[in-house]
Chains A and B, each alone.
Chain A
Amino acid sequence: MKTVVIGILGTTLDRRGKRKERWDKWRPTVSMCQQEDLLIDRLELLYDARSRSLAETVTEDIALISPETQVCHHHVDFTDAWDFEQVYAALLDFARSYTFKPQEENYLIHITTGTHVAQICLYLLNEAHYLPGKLLQTSPAGNKEKLSGSYQIIDLDLSKYDEIASRFKKEHEEGTTYLKGGITTYNATFNTMIDQLEQVSIRSNEPILIMGPTGAGKSQLAKRVYELRKHRARLSGELVTVNCATLRGENAMSTLFGHKKGAFTGAISDRPGLLKQADGGLLFLDEVGELGLDEQAMLLRAIEDKTFMPLGSDKEVCSHFQLIAGTNKNLVQCVKAGSFRDDLLARIDLWTYTLPSLKERKEDIEPNLDYELDAYAKKANTLVTFNKNARTRYLDFCLSRDALWSGNFRDLNASVTRMATLASGGRITEENVDAEIQRLKQKWQTQEQPDPVNSFNMLDQLMNDNYLVAFDNYELAALTYAVNVCRESASMAEAGRKLFNVSRESKSSNNDSHRIKQLLQKFNITFHDIKSL
């Protein structure tokens, strides 16, 4: 491998006259050829026509001190070496016309000489891979060093520079709206909604209801509302988050509202409950539609009167909290189905916001991608960036029809985390992206395949939504299975034999097709509906 340096002639630092005194001065272009552990086989020296005689002096001196180095001259005309556009264009032209042979030659881009503008341009061209290779920085000698000074080779792709890079971690919190998490979003619906939510959360203590699919960012938003309110000194207490889907039975009551010692078996001490814990703060009840009816009644009272009764207690407890409820269910339908109290819905349905799914906010994928990268950098304390092509490829996929984003921001977060973790040297490459696209496709593909027991996808097509919410999950699951069997069977009789495989044995006479017909009728479906799916 040959070592080739590409550098600009330093019209100040390299210009030390033609007299012998020049040998007493540090001249970066000459000195880099004098390093005892750096052998430069070729130097591509870029200079302006006006510096020709300087270029010749430098070339002659290099021939003396480093006979191994071949110096090639390149005229690059900067009319104004401080004009960014001009310098960048001139250097880009050079880079494009130059034949790089990365298999045979190692390139070092000397950034010590040239105007600051030129240095920045070299850096940018290197970063963008127009000028491949590493950066070479030379520095003058310290007191006890040889005149030729020292040099450093800087590889922009090396992870050891992450420490420097992490200092550039942007302080998104400062001067940006808390609510968007510092993400510059472009989706108009989302932005309008956020603007209003910002005002509401500053001015109102009323409950807020956030609707939206799983992973659309409900908890994130609740957290941001909390931080914004806290920032404006409207809240002194803490943020208490609870997913109602995880609350079941007596445990649900006691978790939310607390209990007195001895209220039930296992209640060995007093427990204040989450509502009390959120006193003066914010309570975020995610999946509020999963809350039991008893708990709903208690919650309603707690919202209206700011008081509630812990289990086994004869004294009411007072708690002032702001409520944010989140749901991915249509609560109106839940009310109709009797699983959600209409008075509670009325109480929390004052400020209702629907978070669009990621698929509906495609213009926001890119800013959220940057946000996720940043978040990863903070968490892992290592800056991760895409290379240019990898980023383009990933975004193209994100915006394509193939990207279902069924898990919304959760999918994006997981995807970025995976790529960032697998990226060596903090750089996500095209290979990383390709592998990730395969993972996502596979994930969404498995999700799409109807699960014979759990998926209600098929039922959506057979029954209207209002009808669907009227049945227990158990019934819908059983129905899904029945529908699947019907699809695979040639006749109602065949389906009946498979579905009633045990009970039909004990009957003297069997009319399997009739039983199927009855079963489907309960759901207002016919065998013909299923076969024509």
Chain B
Amino acid sequence: MIIIDGATGEGGGQIFRTALTLSMALGKPVRILNIRAGRKKPGLLRQHLACLKAARAISSAEVTGDVIGSQDVTFVPGKVKAGSFHFSVGSAGSTTLIFQTIFPVLALQDEVSEVTLEGGTHNGMAPSFDFLHACFLPAVEKLGFTFASQIESYGFYPAGGGRWTTRIYPRKQARPLLLLQRGQLQGCEALVTQAKIPFSVADRELEVLRRALHIDDANLHRRNVNSVGPGNIVSLQLQYSDHVEVMEAIGERGVRAEQVAKKLVMQVQNYQASEAPVGEFLADQLIVPMALTEGGCFCASPLSSHFNTNVAVVEKFLDVNVEINHNAHNALVTIKPLTKTHWTTH
């Protein structure tokens, strides 16, 4: 059994989720200790428990320690079966984190899976559905995967109640991921997605983006979406010929619209200051699907503690060579699996 010390690296939920994913994908039992040991509320929170339950459901795993506050979980995966799944998570929990935990496993099966997720979709504590849909999944598809996702309703904090579905198709081509440059900038779109909030808020946010980033009026969008509770999120999509990057900032109660937009402007300016195509949030999420397939190479900036954590967990599970070459502004990440894993490709 592989033992993972949950207190190492970023020491939070990421290490736990990554360990579950790899355990299922490789059929290797894992025991995760000291889960979130240094945190104010240590052990499993509801969102982690939701991921654990989803992982158990798709892999018929035998699990111990699956209670709130648990700092010691053993996970013995059974046979993973593709199929239809439905997972719900309370308002604060991100449906996107559940998805990230299970998709690499389902994507490596021979059958199509359909996953319906209910709960938070745009809660500011995890990548939003829009990031997943427009930035993350297209990047992962470069490895030969195919996804088709659709959102029915949006789930903002605190009411939640979002719902979306993804079809996960069997992998068609086996190829490494190559994402070394952005290519030509073809578009820059700002979008405010909101529900039950006056449009004046969206307008103030867009005005900040327009001034700071010099975006044409034609590329400033606002939309009202179907959601049970109020919410507001502002995002910016940079469309390059080789990559689409999405950055976003969530509107919060008690935070001025201008302040929210300024947060996004900072992110965008940081991204633009570098030449690396892969942004901070994308980089750490690419490690696991790459390590489980043919690997590849990407250029990223910056690398977060989540990234390092994921690399460390991957190295525990897999015979894999991860090389990170830093130059002045960017990091070149190369992942080479050394042994062929047990599944076949189509």
Given contact pairs A20-B196, A24-B230, A64-B228, A39 touches B46 in the complex (Cβ within 8 A): yes
CB < 8 Å: which of B45, B67, B88, B157 contacts A67?
Answer: B88
Measured between beta carbons, the chain A residues less than 8 angstroms from B45 are: 36-37
Q: Mark A63-85, 1 if CB is under 8 A from B, else 0.
A: 01111100000000000000000
CB < 8 Å: which of A36, A64, A148 contacts B47?
Answer: A36
Given contact pairs A36-B46, A65-B158, A147 touches B253 in the complex (Cβ within 8 A): yes
Measured between beta carbons, the chain B residues less than 8 angstroms from A129 are: none
Q: Determine how close the nearest CB of chain B comes to the CB of A143; give it in whole angstroms.
A: 8
Measured between beta carbons, the chain A residues less than 8 angstroms from B46 are: 35-39, 68
Does B161 lie within 8 Å of A64, measured CB to CB?
Answer: yes
Given contact pairs A65-B90, A67-B89, A147-B253, A36 touches B41 in the complex (Cβ within 8 A): yes
Q: Determine how close the nearest CB of chain A comes to the CB of B260; give it in whole angstroms.
A: 16
A61 interface residue (CB < 8 Å to B): yes
Q: Determine how close the nearest CB of chain A comes to the CB of B338; give it in whole angstroms.
A: 39
Closest to B227 in A: A20
Measured between beta carbons, the chain A residues less than 8 angstroms from B253 are: 24, 147
Does B41 lie within 8 Å of A34, measured CB to CB?
Answer: no
Q: Determine how close the nearest CB of chain A comes to the CB of B153; give it in whole angstroms.
A: 11
Does B160 lie within 8 Å of A65, measured CB to CB?
Answer: yes
Does A20 lie within 8 Å of B161, measured CB to CB?
Answer: no
Task: Provide the bound-state CA to CA distance between A293 and B235, in Å.
Answer: 105
B234 interface residue (CB < 8 Å to A): no
Measured between beta carbons, the chain B residues less than 8 angstroms from A146 are: 92, 157-158
**Which residues of A (130-161) have their CB < 8 Å from a CB of B?**
146-148
Measured between beta carbons, the chain A residues less than 8 angstroms from B88 are: 67-68
**Which residues of A (76-109) have their CB < 8 Å from a CB of B?**
none
B69 interface residue (CB < 8 Å to A): yes
Measured between beta carbons, the chain B residues less than 8 angstroms from A66 are: 90-91
**Which residues of A (1-26) have their CB < 8 Å from a CB of B?**
1, 20, 23-24
Q: Mark B79-122, 1 if CB is under 8 A from A, else 0.
A: 00000000011111100000000000000000000000011000
Given contact pairs A34-B92, A36-B45, A23 touches B68 in the complex (Cβ within 8 A): no
Measured between beta carbons, the chain B residues less than 8 angstroms from A24 are: 230, 253
Does B230 lie within 8 Å of A23, measured CB to CB?
Answer: yes
A210 interface residue (CB < 8 Å to B): no
B320 interface residue (CB < 8 Å to A): no
Measured between beta carbons, the chain B residues less than 8 angstroms from A23 are: 158-159, 229-230
Measured between beta carbons, the chain A residues less than 8 angstroms from B229 are: 20, 23, 64
CB < 8 Å: which of A37, A64, A65 contacts B69?
Answer: A37
Closest to B87 in A: A67
Q: A23, A37, A65: which has the most chain B beta carbons within 10 Å?
A: A65
Measured between beta carbons, the chain A residues less than 8 angstroms from B196 are: 20
Does A39 lie within 8 Å of B158, measured CB to CB?
Answer: no
Task: Provide the bound-state CA to CA distance between A37 and B159, in Å.
Answer: 17
B49 interface residue (CB < 8 Å to A): yes
Q: Mark B168-199, 1 if CB is under 8 A from A, else 0.
A: 00000000000000000000000000001000
A33 interface residue (CB < 8 Å to B): yes
Q: Determine how close the nearest CB of chain A comes to the CB of B133; give it in whole angstroms.
A: 22
Given contact pairs A34-B158, A66-B91, A68-B90, A39 touches B230 in the complex (Cβ within 8 A): no
Q: Determine how close the nearest CB of chain B comes to the CB of A134; give it in whole angstroms.
A: 15
Q: Determine how close the nearest CB of chain A comes to the CB of B250; give it in whole angstroms.
A: 13
Measured between beta carbons, the chain B residues less than 8 angstroms from A38 are: 46, 68
Q: Determine how close the nearest CB of chain A comes to the CB of B57; give it in whole angstroms.
A: 14
Closest to A35 in B: B46
Does B68 lie within 8 Å of A37, measured CB to CB?
Answer: yes
CB < 8 Å: which of B92, B160, B161, B228 contacts A36?
Answer: B92
Q: A1, A23, A34, A38: which has the most chain B beta carbons within 10 Å?
A: A23
Measured between beta carbons, the chain A residues less than 8 angstroms from B91 are: 34, 64-66
Task: Provide the bound-state CA to CA distance between A68 and B158, in Å.
Answer: 16
CB < 8 Å: which of B47, B49, B159, B230 contacts A65?
Answer: B159
Q: Mark B131-161, 1 if CB is under 8 A from A, else 0.
A: 0000000000000000000000000011111
Q: Mark B29-68, 1 if CB is under 8 A from A, else 0.
A: 0000000000001010111010000000000000000011
CB < 8 Å: which of A1, A20, A33, A147 contacts B90?
Answer: A33
**Which residues of B (192-229) have their CB < 8 Å from a CB of A?**
196, 228-229
Does A37 lie within 8 Å of B41, measured CB to CB?
Answer: yes
Does B90 lie within 8 Å of A34, measured CB to CB?
Answer: yes
Does B159 lie within 8 Å of A61, measured CB to CB?
Answer: yes
Closest to B47 in A: A36
Q: Determine how close the nearest CB of chain A comes to the CB of B29; give it in whole angstroms.
A: 25
Does B158 lie within 8 Å of A148, measured CB to CB?
Answer: yes
Closest to B229 in A: A23
Q: Determine how close the nearest CB of chain B comes to the CB of A189; give it in whole angstroms.
A: 60
Task: Provide the bound-state CA to CA distance between A385 and B69, in Å.
Answer: 31
Q: Determine how close the nearest CB of chain A comes to the CB of B120; give it in whole angstroms.
A: 9
Task: Provide the bound-state CA to CA distance between A64 and B227, in Å.
Answer: 11
Task: Provide the bound-state CA to CA distance between A148 and B43, in Å.
Answer: 20
Task: Provide the bound-state CA to CA distance between A33 and B228, in Å.
Answer: 17
Does B68 lie within 8 Å of A39, measured CB to CB?
Answer: yes
Q: Determine how close the nearest CB of chain A comes to the CB of B252; give it in whole angstroms.
A: 10
Task: Provide the bound-state CA to CA distance between A148 and B123, in Å.
Answer: 14
Measured between beta carbons, the chain B residues less than 8 angstroms from A68 are: 46, 88, 90
Q: Determine how close the nearest CB of chain B comes to the CB of A152; give it in whole angstroms.
A: 13
Task: Provide the bound-state CA to CA distance between A34 and B158, in Å.
Answer: 8
Q: Determine how close the nearest CB of chain B comes to the CB of A260; give it in whole angstroms.
A: 73
Q: Determine how close the nearest CB of chain B comes to the CB of A106; give it in whole angstroms.
A: 11
Q: Determine how close the nearest CB of chain B comes to the CB of A228; give it in whole angstroms.
A: 55
Measured between beta carbons, the chain A residues less than 8 angstroms from B93 are: 36
Given contact pairs A20-B229, A24-B230, A37-B46, A67 touches B158 in the complex (Cβ within 8 A): no
Closest to A30 in B: B158
**Which residues of A (39-70) have their CB < 8 Å from a CB of B?**
39, 61, 64-68
Q: A24, A34, A36, A146: which has the most chain B beta carbons within 10 Å?
A: A36
Does B230 lie within 8 Å of A20, measured CB to CB?
Answer: yes
Task: Provide the bound-state CA to CA distance between A20 and B196, in Å.
Answer: 7
Measured between beta carbons, the chain B residues less than 8 angstroms from A20 are: 196, 229-230
Chain B residues packing against A (C-beta within 8 Å): 41, 43, 45-47, 49, 67-69, 88-93, 118-119, 157-161, 196, 228-230, 253
In the A-B complex, the 8 residue pairs with the closest CB atoms: A67-B88, A65-B91, A20-B196, A64-B161, A36-B45, A23-B229, A66-B90, A37-B41
Chain A residues packing against B (C-beta within 8 Å): 1, 20, 23-24, 33-39, 61, 64-68, 146-148
Known: A34-B92, A36-B92. 19 other contacts (CB 8 A): A20-B196, A23-B158, A24-B253, A36-B47, A37-B41, A37-B43, A37-B46, A37-B68, A61-B159, A64-B161, A64-B228, A64-B229, A65-B158, A65-B159, A65-B160, A66-B91, A67-B118, A67-B119, A147-B253
20 sample A-B contacts, Cβ–Cβ < 8 Å, listed by A number: A20-B230, A24-B230, A34-B90, A34-B158, A35-B46, A36-B92, A37-B43, A39-B49, A64-B159, A64-B161, A64-B228, A65-B91, A65-B158, A65-B159, A66-B91, A68-B46, A146-B157, A146-B158, A147-B158, A148-B158
